[in-house]
Amino acid sequence: MPSLFLSLLLPALSLASRQHIHREYETMQMQLLQHKLILEGVKERSLKEAQPLEWVHFPKTGSSFVNTIAHLAGTCPSLGKHAINEDTVGGGACWLSRWFEERCPQECHADRYVCQQSSLPHVPIAIYSARRGHLVGMFRNPDQRILSAYHDEANNFAAEDYGNFLIDTSHHEIQQNGGNCTGSVVRGLPKRPLLDFARTWKGGVTYQLTADNQTMTALHPRRPRVTRRDATEAARRVHDGFAFVGITEEWDLSICLFHKMFGGACNAFEFEDTRPSYDGKSADQDYDTAQLQGWHDDIDEVVYAAALEVFRRNLASFSVSHETCQECYGHKSSASSQGRRGTSQ
């Protein structure tokens, strides 16, 4: 009798168990779908609130970030899958200035992306209150940024009397080969001593974030100096005013985070600024800071610390890691041999 009872009970339990597992699976699938829809809704709202995006381009943090912004769906639709770089735009070392002045206004929708208005590169954002919440940018370790600029032979930012050679491109069109742009004019000229150059570049990011007008570029050796108090205000603006903060040293993660926040698929040309040795590894800090003999940019370090804090917070908020970015990283294989062309400006 007990064996007969068990023979009838076990199939019933097995059926009930299978039905329970099936219901659990359906519930889990529904929860995953709801989570996906919520995330997609967050992305859509986040992007709409942030647009028009305005890129604050700090020197030597990665010019090719313009590709990530411009290739967002509906932003510059005529670009298609074509990258924005020196080869496609022309203009030599001043390809980005040429893009802003000649191509960007024609190809991009002003309600999605604000083309740089100034004819000089790397100018202050000026009226912060009007731009708050729309700003996006990449940030880099300040000492590495300065060393990268010093060793940039294409632009030769450290050229003696560099300020006297700055060209206001509003007075002419940049030639296809860039022969009439600042980078071409100063190329090959003698450099100032490294520490002299470093002191003039100190606080450049703070200057771009806090100065009140756009009449002098951050590249000018005689631009106004900034203080730690200015740096504190700049750090506050990074926290409160930026819709997206990326880190040059974490280029791959930054590109992935941008797409997690705003949508769209990653493209190979977005990874041109990196020299990865394994999936997810970003541009290393290549320069030996011993060259600076103990000198340190203690102004921009305040801003960089704020940028790192925002970046790490967003990684956690959007569940972004090298593991969750593998699909995005899969698009970068064709860019792995491109070098760092994007950091030339």
Per-residue pLDDT of the chain (345 residues; tens, 9 = 90+): 556 554 555 555 455 565 555 565 554 554 444 344 444 445 666 899 999 999 999 999 999 999 999 999 999 999 988 999 888 888 877 888 889 888 999 999 999 999 988 777 899 998 999 999 999 999 999 999 999 999 999 899 999 999 888 876 555 555 665 555 787 888 899 999 999 999 999 999 999 999 988 889 999 999 999 999 999 999 999 999 999 999 999 999 999 999 999 999 999 999 875 333 234 433 455 899 999 999 999 999 999 999 999 999 999 999 999 999 999 999 886 554 444 434 444
Q: Within a domain: residue 20?
A: no
DSSP helix/strand/coil, 130: helix
Contacts of 35 (CB under 8 A, 6+ apart): none
Residue 293: name the closest of 174, 185, 196 by CA: 196
Number of structural domains (the chain) is 1
* Segments forming the whole domain that contains residue 265: 39-344
**Residue-by-residue DSSP string for 135-175:** EEEEE--HHHHHHHHHT-TTT-TTBTTHHHH---GGGSPPP
Answer whether residue 34 is part of any domain.
no
Structure tokens at 117: 């208005």
* Pure H helices in 169-280: 182-186, 194-201, 204-210, 228-241, 251-262
Q: With respect to residue 10, please indicate whether it lies within any of the assigned structural domains.
A: no
